[in-house]
């Protein structure tokens, strides 16, 4: 065995993150690590990578018991982790990031030599990168490739990916799969965390499932079907699948006319009525997020009009959008959704302080009740409302962001990739919340790259392509029909972006 974890335990303050983490990885194996939000996956891997110290249990590396006091020790033993939130230095080049901390001494006499080595490494991996590009200019996939190059250059024999594809496009995801298979074929061990059930069988050999901090299952992937996997993850049959209860659409609550914003958005016309859930499909880069931002007033529009609940919105700033009743649940919770340094309760109530204050003072009891309400509704795994939001697991952070906007009592909800990083069980809960909002008269626009989700949830499907609305389909339309509207077929028959250096 390359890596063996036995009975690993870890608590943070009063919170038990791991009760009994067990996992064994062989060389040349892609090992999937699955489990609900807050199950302890990231914590277990951070222990392996030397970022946290376990409270108990044993780590064996190549058969020997080890303890890593810090990430550098784990790295020199041959363990590297590719984090979802990139830890690279944006203002340095690709080559500098790959060889960070190893220049000026050791193997490199000159900068030129460093560049040459980086070039060779990138070529070996067949990555569409240049050694002298600035990392700040790279897409999320490009940044991951730099981290992979760094891991390979360090001679790592185990590479850990924590949800690598949750913010990637289709073609970037395929690229990550190719890389993972390539690493495995060269005899490296790979541990791979994901919530996307449909991608598992493409990459995985073995699967380990964590539930509430303990390993509850481990087997070759072929021995476990998807239902069995879900059962292990959530500890119950997930029979209660989401079902939409459509209501007759009411008044138009969001009306967009001829909206333009250079360089991308062109003549957008869209109406969403009370009670409707409109799904918005399209390839990454088609302008869906840009449209949400323009509606919310984060980005200025060049021309066109937006009306919410019958009132025109100048949308010069998000505050105006919020006051007129718009909520935006962003796709990037770390950057734009969550105040990681504030408590969970502050995050939930911050967009709606009026409702919990009287005469200028906050009613903390009310704040707490409100937070507990959402905790129950969305099953947020947390210790206390006073806990720092940044300390929650990735998926639970997303649920806090959703709660924040639910608490505003908005009438128009823009959900941009709402289920990103959320586990199978919680997805159903998020959809149920949308259904309830719609039944209570809200208008919902949901952007999603997961076609099955759009098919399941939307009453109507609007498709964007290259900054325009390319068509509209009824809810439940086939994936082929949606893709046809989403993809601009070039003469060569290739999908755009496939061959044109989407990395930089
Ligand atoms: N630094 C920390 N301080 C306090 N609690 C923490 C810390 N890191 C993790 N936790 C808690 O430990 C538990 C497990 O978290 P972890 O991030 O490992 O979950 P996860 O399985 O990766 O979930 P997700 O799928 O949502 O990313 C959670 O309840 C989380 O709140
Ligand atoms: Mg995690």
Q: What is the DSSP string of 363-376?
A: -HHHHHHHHHHHHH
Q: Is 17 in the pocket of ligand 1 (CB under 6 A)?
A: yes
Q: Is 381 in the pocket of ligand 1 (CB under 6 A)?
A: yes
What are the start-end ranges of the H helices in 133-216?
A: 140-153, 170-185, 197-203
Phi, psi values for residue 385, rounded to 5°: -60, -20
Average pLDDT of the residues in 353-364: 70
Do the bridges between strand 30-34 and strand 206-211 make them parallel or antiparallel, or are there none, so unpaired? parallel
- Distance from the alpha carbon of residue 212 to the mean position of ligand 1, in angstroms: 10
* Range with top average pLDDT, 13-17, 251-255, 492-496: 251-255
Q: What is the DSSP letter of 337?
A: I
pLDDT (0 to 100) of residue 315: 64
Domains in the chain (CATH in brackets) are 3-234 (3.40.50.300), 253-325+411-487 (3.40.50.300), 338-409 (no CATH)
pLDDT (0 to 100) of residue 47: 97
From the number of C-beta atoms within 10 Å of its C-beta (0-12, 13-18, 19+), residue 213 rates as: buried
Work out the percent of the chain whose per-residue pLDDT is above 70.
89
> Ligand 1: which atom is nearest the Cα of residue 12?
4
Q: Is 249 in the pocket of ligand 1 (CB under 6 A)?
A: no
Lowest mean pLDDT of 68-77, 197-206, 216-225, name the range: 197-206
**pTM > 0.85:** no
Task: Tell me the per-residue pLDDT of 442-491, one tens digit each, with 9 for 90 and over.
Answer: 999 999 988 888 988 999 999 998 899 999 999 889 888 888 888 864 43
Confidence grade of residue 104 (pLDDT, cut at 50, 70, 90):
low
């Amino acid at each position: 065995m390359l890596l063996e974890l036995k009975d690993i335990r870890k608590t943070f303050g009063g919170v038990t993150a791991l009760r009994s983490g067990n996992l064994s990885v062989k060389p040349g194996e892609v090992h999937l690590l699955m489990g609900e939000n807050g199950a302890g996956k990231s914590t277990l891997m951070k222990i392996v990578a030397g970022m946290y110290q376990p409270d108990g249990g044993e780590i064996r590396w190549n058969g020997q018991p080890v303890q890593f006091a810090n990430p550098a020790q784990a790295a020199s033993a041959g363990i590297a982790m590719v984090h979802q939130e990139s830890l690279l230095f944006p203002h340095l080049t690709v080559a500098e990031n790959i060889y960070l901390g190893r220049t000026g001494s050791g193997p490199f006499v000159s900068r030129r030599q460093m560049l040459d080595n980086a070039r060779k490494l990138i070529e070996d991996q067949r990555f569409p990168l240049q050694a002298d590009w600035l990392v700040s200019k790279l897409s999320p996939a490009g940044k991951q490739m730099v981290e992979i190059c760094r891991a390979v250059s360090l001679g790592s024999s185990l590479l850990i990916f924590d949800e690598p594809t949750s913010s990637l496009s289709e073609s970037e995801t395929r690229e990550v799969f190719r890389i993972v298979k390539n690493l495995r074929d060269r005899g490296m061990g790979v541990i791979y965390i994901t919530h996307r059930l449909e991608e598992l069988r493409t990459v995985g050999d073995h699967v380990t499932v964590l539930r509430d901090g303990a390993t509850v299952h481990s087997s070759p992937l072929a021995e476990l079907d998807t239902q069995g996997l879900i059962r292990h993850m959530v500890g119950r049959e997930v029979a209660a699948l989401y079902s939409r209860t459509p209501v007759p659409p009411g008044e138009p609550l969001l009306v967009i006319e001829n909206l333009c914003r250079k360089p991308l958005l062109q003549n957008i016309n869209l109406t969403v009525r009370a009670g409707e859930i409109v799904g918005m499909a399209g390839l990454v880069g088609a302008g869906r997020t840009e449209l949400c931002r323009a509606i919310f007033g984060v980005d200025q529009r060049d021309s066109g009009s937006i009306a919410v609940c019958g009132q025109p919105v100048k949308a010069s700033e998000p505050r105006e959008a919020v006051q007129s009743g718009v909520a935006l649940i962003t796709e990037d919770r770390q950057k734009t959704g969550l105040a990681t340094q504030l408590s969970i309760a502050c995050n939930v109530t911050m967009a709606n302080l009026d409702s919990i204050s009287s005469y200028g003072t906050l009613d903390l009891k009310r704040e707490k009740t409100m937070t507990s309400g959402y905790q129950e509704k969305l099953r947020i795994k947390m210790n206390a409302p006073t806990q720092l939001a940044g300390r929650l697991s990735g998926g639970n952070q997303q649920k806090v962001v959703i709660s924040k906007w639910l608490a505003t009592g908005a009438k128009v909800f823009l959900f941009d990739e709402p289920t990103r990083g959320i586990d199978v069980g919680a997805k159903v809960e998020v959809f149920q919340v949308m259904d309830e909002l719609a039944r209570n008269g809200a208008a919902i626009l949901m952007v999603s790259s997961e076609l099955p989700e759009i098919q399941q949830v939307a009453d109507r499907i609007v498709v964007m392509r290259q900054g325009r609305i390319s068509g509209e389909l009824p809810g439940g339309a086939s994936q082929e029909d949606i893709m046809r509207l989403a993809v601009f077929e070039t003469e060569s028959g290739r999908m755009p972006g496939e061959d044109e250096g989407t990395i930089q």
